[in-house]
Amino acid sequence: MQQSIQKRGAVKGISTPFDSLVTKRLVLAGTIVVLMIGLLFSIGMALSIGQVSVPFADSLRLVTYQATGLSIGNIHELVPVTTADIVWNIRFPRVLLAMLVGIGLALCGTVMQASVQNPLADPYLLGISSGASLGATFSIMLGYGATGIMGELGVAFWAFSGALVASAMVLLLANLGGKMSSVKLVLAGTVINVLCNAFSNFIVYFSKNAEGIRSVAFWTMGSLASAKWDTLPLLAAMVGLAVLFFLFQARVLNTMMMGDETAITLGISLNAYRRFYILIASVLTGVMVATCGIIGFVGLIVPHLVRSMVGSDHKRLLPVVILASAIFLIWTDVLARTVIPNGEMPIGIVTAILGGPMFMYMLVKKNIGFGGK
């Protein structure tokens, strides 16, 4: 049947729906292949670029040897020990952390935008960032978490706890007085954001710890400098599971973009899905914030850029967002650690400087598709 349709379309010189579907799939596959190549190239370049320049070939040779044990020639003669330590123990964990955090933030941003039907939603919408900031400020300024029963978790534990408590308060507030809706979620998130920021500022204002104030300021701007091999497995597992889960939720996410009334006619109750999606996004964002601080704009700008190119269908949107966000944050981190000689700029500042003008350009060009493509 499809062959006969294709033949009639070819004879009459017109395209058929089948032709259009095949073309879209080919374009998507080609885009994914190009982005995967770009991601591998970005990882290799990020290992080579820094205060100490390392030849691209040496970086790849060292990573291949460490990962597989295979080497062309004597690796210890080809790559100095100090260079090997810089690439494998410092830069490679940092590059992997940038990739994981970029994927996680953009994925959560895409899910949040669909869940609350708001193009300005991002992973920090539900007070997660302000809650984590309050927890970290409490730990740093008052000295809790560095010792005692929390062991070595310290600031990360309190930041994660603050993020979860803030998210729970938002969900509780949004459920008061009837059924939860996207509008109530946004308003509840705004209220909790304001309250958490107020308490954080209160602690900082009355504190006399100048070093602690500097630590809080640097932490709230985001940094990947704490990347270590032992901090990656948990985040990698959570990001990987979240990616696998949401890749199979494209149909529900597309339905969310249409609104609750349309979903009811299709026999889908969005409230349960919305709560579950927000819970996953909150936990994942809390872990990322506890690991590297607050990195803004990634979960907002990357989904919009990709949506303007591939449309709003999450079957196409999610795979491209995942790869594009990883590349984006890898290069952003390279810029953050090389723009200042013998120093490092917080990555949150770089993402804001890059993301703000980019978002304004998209607004001027009216290139933000949301639910209409």
Say what the pLDDT of residue 318 is. 94
**Which of 71-75, 94-98, 229-233 shows the lowest mean pLDDT across its residues?**
71-75
pLDDT in tens, 300-335: 889 988 988 888 889 999 999 999 999 999 999 999
Confidence at 235, pLDDT banded by 50, 70, 90: very high
Whether the pLDDT of residue 60 is over 70: the answer is yes
Confidence at 99, pLDDT banded by 50, 70, 90: very high
Contact in structure between 146 and 281 (CB atoms under 8 Å): no
What does residue 121 show for φ and ψ, rounded to 5 degrees?
-75, 150
What does residue 125 show for φ and ψ, rounded to 5 degrees?
-60, -40
DSSP string of 146-158, one letter each residue? SSGGGTT-THHHH
Residue 255: other Cβ atoms inside 10 A: 19
Exposure of 97 in the CB half-sphere (CA atoms within 13 A): 28
Say what the pLDDT of residue 86 is. 84
**Which of 25-39, 50-64, 229-243 shows the lowest mean pLDDT across its residues?**
50-64
Cα separation, 193 vs 216, whole angstroms: 17
Domains and CATH numbers, the chain: 88-365 (1.10.3470.10)
Q: What is the mean pLDDT of residues 47-60?
A: 83
Cα separation, 23 vs 7, whole angstroms: 17
Question: Closest Cα to residue 158, out of 185, 178, 176, 133?
Answer: 133
* ∠ CA 85-72-43, rounded to 5°: 50
pTM assigned to the model:
0.85
